[in-house]
Structure 1
Amino acid sequence: MASRLNEYQQPIGPAVDNWTPRERPARVTIEGVRCRIEPVDVERHAADLFEAYCQAADGRDWTYLFTGPFTDFAAFREYLVKAAASPDPLHYTIVDRATGKAVGTFALMRIDPAHGVIEVGSVTFSPRLKRTALSTEAQYLLMRYVFDDLGYRRYEWKCDSLNAPSRQTALRLGFQFEGIFRQAVVYKGRSRDTAWFAVIDQDWPQVRAGFEQWLASSNFDADGNQRASLASLREGSPRA
């Protein structure tokens, strides 16, 4: 893209006409086909979440998170009380509509309404949620809320650069890799280089179309196996 020039013949970025700050995300409920996203509610969700997380064989799912693992319910409930009260990160629970059980959480965080930038993080998916169509739908629903309902310009994903599964998930979901911030964070007594990914509003129509094609019932056989991958459907979708 050719740069514009100002009156001093300096290159400047594209104009953003009629921009106004966006609304902050709310404690909304978002209904999907397979799942429902709800604000974290300790009384309704704590027992289900703890039981779902206990399905894991060990604590490796918490290695790259700032909290956990939790081996007793009281400690987990204390963590969830703080999460439920936090405005940023703003935590949501993912409920499996087939069972009515809470199976994971994630959050909108580093919320910047003035510039239309927001991050999805604290992704804490139980074994009942990981690698399922339900988990993909949950990510789609939250991303759609941010872009279509709130009108944000940029949706970020960040993770420890050593967290290969998280990096792979970001790429699968349509985020573009933007680089490594060295020594960006200290957590759990260790240094973290942070990998940055993002979807911007120009990417969103193609990313959304890929999600919608992948989530369609026609994309799954009688055993629930996908017929086409998310990446292939996204790449086959027209760009904005």
Structure 2
Amino acid sequence: MDPLEGPRIRLRPLQLSDAEALVAAAGDGELWNLPFTVVPSSATVGDYLQTALRGRDAGTVLPFVTVLKSQDEVIGCTRFWKIDRQNRKLEIGSTWIAARWQQSFVNTEAKYLMLRHAFETLDCVRVQFTTDEINEKSRQAILRLGAKQEGIVRHERIMPDGRKRNSVRFSIIDDEWPDVRQRLEQKLGYCAPN
């Protein structure tokens, strides 16, 4: 798959050779210590990459590294997953961004590129997001994208520390995409190239 390109961000397919850059990006904020997501450390990056690439080989995951174009620097990771081509739906998730780039344009531009690809290239009718109910920053960021909260899925997964995680589910559907797209473009102050 070709990279998804915006003015400031490039989402390019994840590769095994990204291990060192991912650990360096995650080290900005020691994100592997967060209790509500899975971010690779030097000890876990091998498994992290293998899991993502196995999903890609199975056709259910499209993992990307987030690259800051001005510096050609890997600053995070994200993916399409739970890809269901028959029902034309998928989830955007497993997203993390180096601490210094959080609450900047990075997440909004990356999500815009992914949503545009999902709805306009993959012809999705539904894109969903799921986050830990204790991750208030993520919940607010998803709402700011224009997604609608659907509910809480109890004990949706078991976290690496053994905690049973309740997850909040959000979605954007195809009928909503034109308005969401327009708001995101206004927020970003540009129209991304086609």
Question: Once the two structures are aligned, what percentage of the paired residues are identical?
Answer: 31
Match of 1:133 in 2: 105
- Corresponding residue pairs, total: 186
Deviation (angstroms), 1:89: 2.9
What amino acid maps onto 1:47 in structure 2?
E
Partner of residue 13 from structure 2, selected from 21, 39, 43: 39
Match of 1:18 in 2: none
SS of the equivalent of 1:86 reads: helix
Match of 2:187 in 1: 214
| Bigger share in helix | 2
Cα–Cα, structure 1 residues 170 and 58, in superposed 2: closer, same or farther, change >3 Å? closer
Larger Rg: 1
Partner of residue 55 from structure 1, selected from 24, 28, 47: 28
Deviation (angstroms), 1:127: 1.4
Deviations 1:133-169 (A, max 9, x none): 1221111001100001111000000112122111111
Partner of residue 202 from structure 1, selected from 175, 178, 185: 175
RMSD of aligned residue pairs (Cα, Å): 1.8
What amino acid maps onto 2:157 in structure 1?
V
Contact map agreement 2:132 2:165 (CA 8 A) in 1: yes
So what's the TM-score if we normalise by structure 1? Answer: 0.72
Match of 2:159 in 1: 187
| Bigger share in strand | 2
Deviation (angstroms), 1:78: 4.2
Structure 1 residues 88-237: aligned runs within 5 Å: 88-188=60-160, 189-216=162-189
Contact map agreement 2:26 2:32 (CA 8 A) in 1: no
Contact map agreement 2:26 2:39 (CA 8 A) in 1: no
What amino acid maps onto 1:127 in structure 2?
A
Contact map agreement 1:119 1:157 (CA 8 A) in 2: yes
- Distance of 2:3 and 2:121 partners within structure 1: 13
Match of 1:30 in 2: 4
Cα–Cα, structure 1 residues 158 and 58, in superposed 2: closer, same or farther, change >3 Å? closer
SS of the equivalent of 1:33 reads: coil
Partner of residue 83 from structure 1, selected from 22, 40, 52: 52
Deviations 1:169-218 (A, max 9, x none): 1101111011112222222312122211000011100000011111126x
What amino acid maps onto 2:163 in structure 1?
R
What amino acid maps onto 1:30 in structure 2?
L
After the TM superposition, which of the residue ranges 125-134 and 152-161 deviates more from structure 2?
Answer: 125-134
So what's the TM-score if we normalise by structure 2? Answer: 0.87
Gap runs ≥5 in structure 1: 1-26, 218-240
- Distance of 1:58 and 1:129 partners within structure 2: 12
Contact map agreement 1:104 1:129 (CA 8 A) in 2: no
Contact map agreement 1:32 1:137 (CA 8 A) in 2: yes
Deviations 1:37-84 (A, max 9, x none): 1000222x3222211211215644x3212x3462xx353244224423
Contact map agreement 1:39 1:84 (CA 8 A) in 2: no
Gap runs ≥5 in structure 2: none
Cα–Cα, structure 1 residues 204 and 49, in superposed 2: closer, same or farther, change >3 Å? same
SS of the equivalent of 2:119 reads: helix
